[in-house]
């Protein structure tokens, strides 16, 4: 009996540290993938355990007790179907209920309630969009000393570009990073993907540093800190912050941002050979499969001049995710826009970074690369040509007797039903025939996932979003998150809403 008791005591003593670790890990960092799925898509398979964007944003505001920081491109959480200038104009009350417009109002009220609880709130955004511009954040800040609101015009710092990141930070411990704008339509009429991290202070602390950098820019005189330079890497004249690595090291100024990354100057922006990784256990309660092993995770940021410490640029995060694919395995890439050039600069940049990475893994690793691109009312016309050039990798792969190449590229367009019937219901007193409000019915997610690594971001795959525009990505090797993100992609890819690139190019019609 005594021996049995001693064995039992020894067993308890052995297990206690492990039980403590499990309890601590369970109470600290958890992650859920987050989606918005447009109404009227009955044939899209749902992925179990994925949260909805509206719920997550309400929780972030509702759970805030000390602070709430929000980075947004624009605000239109409150629908306005009675304003003739609005893309919602002319739809009935029952229409708006069917569209789910109440979800946006619920998120707005959650922020307003947090403000009324005296939570310290900071709102940072671009100048907004017509016709509301910055009305909503201005209203939230009006008469409240605990709410600060700033507009940051990145065009004054980089010659073009906007605040395009979509980030919510609550109490320095919880964060949303993803593709959803502060817009009611992003909750129920646009396909969005993001990640919700709870109790992940190590990760959230770095996102806060990026927020502080943007906040500091908004309060500086840009004319005192910018230079017009010949960009040696991209072969154009452009405006950059005076501490940019696109300026020769002898001509650079001292950065006003306290944790700016300092590395030797090279032509273009330096790539980090060992970008900082965060080793933290992440519990995934929304999935049957979860692990407490501390797999590596990371953050990446754009533009490069806002990188800090040893955190990588956002472009590098995307490229390294593509190159993480194993031999004979698959990389899945989802984006609204795909363009191998700049879109908004006066002089155009040719940009082949992602295309080159894709070609490399096709050749060297015999990888399959699946690319899903949105087709919608505001589709970029010359996208087809760049996708054709990407498909040419398949031809090159088998072009020589020296090649033993089994990799391939597969491309589909994602067509949300009703994409070509969006806009106000009434214009100049006449019915338009539109079925959905403007700027809806589109796959807006921005992410990539290989067989081992998931990357969830806020940037479209166009040069400007990586070099002149504010963006944030979270990535991880956590296998549970990787697997679930693959399932989200596969549900879209295998759905009738994903149309082979060749079919769309041939002029096939789509039902609405």
Cα separation, 330 vs 327, whole angstroms: 9
Alpha-carbon distance of 204 to 267, in angstroms, equals 32
Distance CA 202, CA 219 (A): 27
The three-state secondary structure class of 339 is coil
Q: How many residues does the chain have?
A: 512
- The tens digit of pLDDT for each residue in 397-425 reads 888 888 888 899 999 999 999 999 999 99
Which residue intervals of 247-299 are DSSP H helices?
A: none
pLDDT tens-digit series, residues 47-97? 999 999 999 999 999 999 999 999 999 999 999 999 999 999 999 999 999
Beta-carbon contacts of residue 340 (< 8 Å; ≥ 6 apart): 350, 351, 352, 354, 355, 386, 389
Cα(103)–Cα(53) distance, integer angstroms = 10
Give the burial class of 411: count Cβ atoms within 10 A of its Cβ; 0-12 exposed, 13-18 middle, 19 or more buried.
buried
Nearest to 74 by CA among 121, 120, 136: 136
β pairing state of 75-76 and 67-72: unpaired
What are the DSSP calls for 442-463, one per residue?
-B---EEE-SS-EEE-S--BSH
Q: Which residues contact 38 (CB under 8 A, 6 or more apart)?
A: 188, 189, 190, 191, 416, 440, 441
Q: Which residues lie across from 123 on neighbouring strands?
A: 70, 149
Please state, in angstroms and rounded to a whole number, the distance separating the CA atoms of residues 19 and 120.
36
Kind plus residue range of the DSSP H or E element containing 209: helix 201-218
Q: In a 3-state reduction of DSSP, which class is residue 72?
A: strand
Residue 23: per-residue pLDDT: 33
In the structure encoding, which two tokens stand for residue 212, read together? Answer: 């502080």
- Torsion angle, alpha carbons of 41, 43, 47, 51, to 10: 20
Structural domains of the chain, with CATH: 30-507 (3.30.870.10)
Beta bridge partners of 230: 237
Cβ burial, residue 57 (10 Å; 0-12/13-18/19+): buried
- Among 469, 430, 223, smallest CA distance to 342 is for 469
What is the structure's pLDDT at 116? 98
**Rounded distance, CA 91 to CA 351, Å?**
42
What is the C-alpha separation between 461 and 354, in angstroms, rounded?
A: 8
Classify 433 in phi/psi space as left (phi over 0), alpha (psi -120 to 50) or beta: left
Place of tokens 């411990």: 173
What confidence score (pLDDT) does residue 249 get? 85
Q: Which secondary-structure segment (H or E) carries 228?
A: strand 226-231
How far apart, in whole angstroms, are the C-alpha atoms of residue 508 and residue 179?
29
**pLDDT of the chain along its 512 residues, tens only?**
444 444 444 443 433 333 333 333 345 899 999 999 999 999 999 999 999 999 999 999 999 999 999 999 999 999 999 999 999 999 999 999 999 999 999 999 999 999 999 999 999 999 999 999 999 999 999 999 999 999 999 999 999 999 999 999 999 999 999 999 999 999 999 999 999 999 999 999 999 999 999 999 999 999 999 999 999 899 999 999 999 999 988 999 999 997 766 655 445 676 888 899 999 999 999 988 888 899 999 999 999 999 998 899 999 999 999 999 999 999 999 999 999 999 999 999 999 999 999 999 999 999 999 999 999 999 998 899 999 999 998 888 888 888 888 899 999 999 999 999 999 999 999 999 999 999 999 999 999 999 999 999 999 999 999 999 999 999 999 999 999 999 999 999 999 999 999 756 544 445 44
Tell me the whole-structure pTM to 2 decimals. 0.92
Tokens representing 227?
């230079």
Structure tokens at 457: 């971001």
Q: What percent of the chain has pLDDT over 90?
A: 83
* Residue in 404, 401, 334 with CA at minimum distance from that of residue 362: 404
- 210 three-state secondary structure: helix
pLDDT value of residue 110 = 98
User: Per-residue DSSP letters for 446-512?
Assistant: -EEE-SS-EEE-S--BSHHHHHTSBEEEEEE--HHHHHHHHHHHHHHHTSTTEEEHHHHHTT-----
Q: Find, among 99, 76, 97, 80, the residue nearest to 88 by Cα.
A: 80
Within 8 A by CB and 6+ apart from 16, the residues are none
**CA 311 → CA 205, 275, 386, 475, 496, distances in Å?**
13, 6, 30, 12, 39
Percent of the chain with pLDDT over 70: 91
Q: How far apart are the first and last CA of the chain?
A: 76
Residue with tokens 């040696």: 232
């Amino acid at each position: 009996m005594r021996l049995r008791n001693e064995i039992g005591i020894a067993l308890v003593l052995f297990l206690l540290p492990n039980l403590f670790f499990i309890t601590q890990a369970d109470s600290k960092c958890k992650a859920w993938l987050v989606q918005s799925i447009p109404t009227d898509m009955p044939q899209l398979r749902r992925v179990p355990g994925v949260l909805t964007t509206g719920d997550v944003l309400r929780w972030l505001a509702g759970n805030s007790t000390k602070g709430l920081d929000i980075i947004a491109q624009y605000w239109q959480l409150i629908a306005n179907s009675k304003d003739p200038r609005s893309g919602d104009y002319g739809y009935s009350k029952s229409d708006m209920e069917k569209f789910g417009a109440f979800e946006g109002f619920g998120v707005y009220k959650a922020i307003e309630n947090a403000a009324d609880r005296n939570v310290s709130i900071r709102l940072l955004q671009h100048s907004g969009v017509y016709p509301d511009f910055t009305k909503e954040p201005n209203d939230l800040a009006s008469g409240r000393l605990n709410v600060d609101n700033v507009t940051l015009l990145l065009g004054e710092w980089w010659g073009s570009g906007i605040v395009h990141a979509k980030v919510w930070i609550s109490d320095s411990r919880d964060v949303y990073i993803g593709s959803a704008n502060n817009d009611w339509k992003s909750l129920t009429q646009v396909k969005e993907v993001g990640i919700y991290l709870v109790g992940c202070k190590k990760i959230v602390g770095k996102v806060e540093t990026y927020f502080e950098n943007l906040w500091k820019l908004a309060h500086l005189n840009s004319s005192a800190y910018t230079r017009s330079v010949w960009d040696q890497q991209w072969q154009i004249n452009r405006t950059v912050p005076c501490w940019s690595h696109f300026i020769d090291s002898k001509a650079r100024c001292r950065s006003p941002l306290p944790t700016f990354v300092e590395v030797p100057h090279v032509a273009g922006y330096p790539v980090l050979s060992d970008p900082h990784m965060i080793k933290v256990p992440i519990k995934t309660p929304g999935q049957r499969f979860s692990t407490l092993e501390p797999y590596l995770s990371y953050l990446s940021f754009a533009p490069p001049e806002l990188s800090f410490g040893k955190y990588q640029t956002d472009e590098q995060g995307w490229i390294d995710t593509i190159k993480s694919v194993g031999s004979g395995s698959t990389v899945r890439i989802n984006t609204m826009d795909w363009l191998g050039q700049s879109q908004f600069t006066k002089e155009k940049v040719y940009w082949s970074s992602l295309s080159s990475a894709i070609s490399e893994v096709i050749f060297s690793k015999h990888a399959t690369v699946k690319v899903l691109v949105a087709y919608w009312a505001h589709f970029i016309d010359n996208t087809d040509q760049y996708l054709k050039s990407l498909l040419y990798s398949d031809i090159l792969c088998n072009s020589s007797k020296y090649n033993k190449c089994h990799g391939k590229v597969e491309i589909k367009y994602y067509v949300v039903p009703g994409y070509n019937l969006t806009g106000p219901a009434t214009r100049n007193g006449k019915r338009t025939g539109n079925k959905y409000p403007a700027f809806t019915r589109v796959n807006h997610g921005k992410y990539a996932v290989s067989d081992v690594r998931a990357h969830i971001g806020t940037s479209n795959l166009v040069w400007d979003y990586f070099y002149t525009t504010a963006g944030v990505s979270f990535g991880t090797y956590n296998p549970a998150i990787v697997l679930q993100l693959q399932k989200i992609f596969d549900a879209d890819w295998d759905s009738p809403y994903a149309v082979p690139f060749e079919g769309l190019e041939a002029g096939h019609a789509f039902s609405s």
